[in-house]
Amino acid sequence: MGWDGHSNGLERAMGRVGPLIVKGRNTPPSPLPRVIDSTKTHSHSNYSIYKISKTKTESGNQIHIASSNSRFTSSNQHRHRPLSTQIPLHLTAAKVHIGRRVLLRRWIDLPHLRSLNWNEFSSPVCGHWTGITCSEDGSRVIAVRLPGIGFRGPIPPNTLSRLSSLQILSLRSNAITGPFPPDFYSLTNLSFLYLQFNKFSGPLPLNFSAWNNLTIVNLSNNEFNGSIPNSISNLTHLTALNLANNSIWGEIPDLYLPNLKQINLSNNKLTGIVPKSLQKFPGSAFIGNNISFVDSPVVSSSHQPNSKSKNVGKLSEAALLGIIVAACVLGLIGFVFLLLVWWLRKRSEDVFSGKLKKGELSPEKAISRSQDANNRLFFFEGCNYAFDLEDLLRASAEVLGKGTFGIAYKAVLEDANTVVVKRLKEVSVGKREFEQQMEVVGSVKHSNVIELRAYYYSKDEKLLVYDFYSRGSVTAMLHGNRGDDRIPLDWETRLRIAIGAARGIARIHVGKLVHGNIKSSNIFLNSQHYGCVSDLGLSTIMRPLAPPIARASGYRAPEVTDTRKSSQPSDVYSFGVLLLELLTGKSPIHTTASDEVIHLVRWVHSVVREEWTAEVFDTELLRYPNIEEEMVEMLQIALACVVRMPDQRPKMVDVARMIERVRHTDYENRPSSEAKSENSTPT
C-alpha cells in the first residue's frame, strides 16, 4: 500500500525514507519513488540516516544498508526479495529494481474485480507477476497485459508511464475512465496499444508522433471525441488502426501510411469524403458515419433548347430505359451491401469456430472484430490468468479431442500460458441458467477436480476454460500408443489414478452434484500422477444424452441408457467401469480380432463366474510382483460399483475409503503439494 499514506511492510521495517549517506559520497540521491504520503511536508530532521557499503563475496556483490533502526543485506544473487526487506532505490550494482515494483503496486491499487498475485511478499516481478513480461536480462518491463481484470476508474498518473521500456500495453475490456493519460507520451518505445472496450473519454492524443514505433493501435469502443489527429500520418510502422464505436467527429485526414493493412473508423460522427489514401479499404471500415467515397458528380445535360419536338419521344424512351437500368444496378448494389453486412455480422458471431480451428489469428485480423460488451470471459476468484477472448483468438490452437459435449482445444497464449478451451455444443439452457450452473461448478475446489477457470456465453458460442494438464488423459495413456515405444502404466500409477478420481467424485457428490459423464477421457493426471476429474456440471446444461454409441456407451448405467438421466448412483457405475478399464487395459466397448463386440462389464462378469479371475487382468500388469492381492481387491470394488440395481451400489465416499485400504501405504498423508491442482503453466 503506502502510496496514499497508509502503512506498509517497507515503512514498518525502515521508518521514513530520507537522505542517504553513501560510502564515499554525501550528496543526496536523485529523486525516486517514495513509499510515503507525498501530500505531506517532511523535514529532514525526521528522516532516518542510512549508510550503504558494498563488498564483494564469492556469491556476488553484497549491499549493506544500516540505520539506527535496522540493518539490511541485499545480494545480486537474490535481487528480488520481499518488499518488506528492500528500499525503494535503484541499486545498479545489485540490479535491484524496487522502484518498478513499488510503481506497479500503486497501479494495482486501482479498483479491480479480479485478484492478482501482485503483493510485496510475492515472487519477483519478472516472470512471476500476472500480466508482466520483462526483457531477457530481467532489468526492464517490456509488456503489461491485463485485459478483462475489471479495473475501474482513471489510470493513476506517473505509474505505467514510468515504464520507459514498455513495448506492449494491453488494458482492453476493463472499465477504465478519464481522458487518455497525457503522461503516456513518455512511453516512446510503445509498439502495441490495446485500450478497446473501456470508458476513456475526451479527445484523442494530439501528438502520435511521440510513439513512432507504434504498429497496432486499438482505441475502439470507448467514449473518445474530437477529431482524428493529423499526427497519425507520422506513424510509418502502423499496420492496424481501430477507432470504431467512439464519438469522433470532423473530416478524416489524408493518412499516407505505407504499411497500413487494417483500418476501422466505423460508427463515429465523421463527415466529408474518404481520402484517396484510404479508399483502398472496404466500405465497412467507414460505415456508420456521414461520409462518402467520392465527390458528388456535377450533373450535366446534352439536351438542347431548340431540339425538335419529334425527338422528344425518343429521348423520353431512352431516359426511361436509363432509369430502369440504373434502378437495377442500384438494387443489385444494395443487395450486395446487405449481404456483406449480414456476412460480417455472421462472421463476428461465429468468429471462434472459424478462427480457433485455423490456429493463430494475427492482431491485424483480430483488430476489426466486433465484440458484444455484455458477452465477455468471466473469470473465477483466484484465477491468475490475464487474457480475454481476443487473446484466445490470437492464440495458436490445436484440437485435443471431440467429446460427448463438445470439442476441446489446446490454446497457447501470447504470454506462453497454455489453457484448454472447450467449445460446447447443444446447450439446452438460457444464459441465466448457464451462468448459475457455472457459478456452482466454479465453487467446487478440490485437488482432484479440475477447476473451471473461466467461461464465455453468447448466442452462438459457449466456451469453458480449464488449466492444461500436460500428462494427458487416462484414455490416451491406456489406449493411445500401442507401438514398440509404448510406456505401459504401472500398477502404482493406476492405483493413484483410481484414488484421485474416487476422491474427486466423492467431493462432487458431497455437494449434491452429479457429474453425469465419468469416463477415462475425462480423467487427467496431475504432477503426482493422481487422477483428476474434468467436465463437471455439463450434463445438466446439455441436451439429454443421445442414444449410446461406440465406447462412451460402455460407461453408462442401465438406467441412464433407458431414461437418459444421470444420478449419483449412475456416477458410481461409470466409475466402476473406469476401474475395470484400469484393471483390464480394455475399453468399455471393444471389438475382438473376429469383429465380435465385447461389453467390458458383461465380459468381466462371465470370466469371474467361470472362476478364471486371473484372465481378467491386463497382461502388462503381470510383470509386477506381489500385486495380485491388491488387484483382486480392486476388482471386487469395481464389481460392487457396477451392480445393475442403483440402490445396491455403494456411496462414492465409501468407494474412496475402500480403495485407500487396498494399499497399506497411507495415501491420506501424502505430501501437501499433491493437494494442489496442477497448472502446467504456473504464474
Give binding residues for ATP as ranges.
431
Instruction: Name the nearest CA neighbour of 190 among 207, 210, 162, 220.
Output: 210
Q: How far apart are the C-alpha atoms of 537 and 363, rounded to whole Å?
A: 34
Cell of 652: 462414492
> Residue type at 615?
E
Which parts are annotated binding residues?
431
User: By the 8 A CB rule, do 353 and 461 touch?
Assistant: yes
Contact 558, 649 (CB under 8 A): no
Is the distance from CB of 410 to CB of 471 less than 8 angstroms?
A: no
- Alpha carbons 189 and 446: distance in angstroms, whole number: 44
Helix, strand, coil fractions of the chain, as percent rounded to 5: 35, 20, 45
Measure CA 415 to chain center: 10
Residues 6+ positions from 669 with CB-CB distance below 8 Å: none
Q: In Å, what is the CA distance from 577 to each residue of 474, 551, 572, 599?
A: 13, 11, 9, 10
Longest dimension (CA), the chain: 118
Assigned C-alpha cell, 469: 494438464
Q: Which three cell numbers stand for residue 372?
A: 458484444
Burial class (CB in 10 A: 0-12, 13-18, 19+), 297: exposed
In this structure, which amino acid lies at residue 309? S
Cα–Cα distance measured from residue 501 to residue 533, given in angstroms and rounded to the nearest whole number: 6
Question: Do residues 450 and 441 touch, judged by C-beta distance below 8 A?
Answer: no
Query: Which stretches does DSSP call E strand in 76-171?
Result: 90-91, 96-97, 132-134, 141-145, 152-153, 168-170
Interhelix angle 491-510/568-584, nearest 10 degrees: 180
Residue 212 CB coordination number (10 Å): 14
CA distance 64 to 20: 13
Alpha carbon distance 520, 507 (integer Å) = 18
Q: Which triple of cell numbers denotes residue 640?
A: 460392487
For residue 64, give the H/E element and its range.
strand 60-66
Q: Which three cell numbers stand for residue 641?
A: 460399483
Amino acid 338 reads L
Buried-state track 168-186, b at ≥16 Cβ within 10 A, e below 16: bbbbbbbebbeebbeebbb
* DSSP code at position 156: P
Cell 438542347, residue located: 304
Written as one letter, the residue type at 269 is K
State the Cα angle at 619 between 614 and 625, rounded to 5°.
75
If you count them, how many residues does the chain have?
683
C-alpha dist (Å) from residue 291 to 267, 273, 277, 297:
11, 5, 15, 15
C-alpha dihedral (401, 402, 404, 410), degrees to nearest 10: 50
3-state secondary structure of 224: strand
In the chain, the amino acid numbered 566 is S
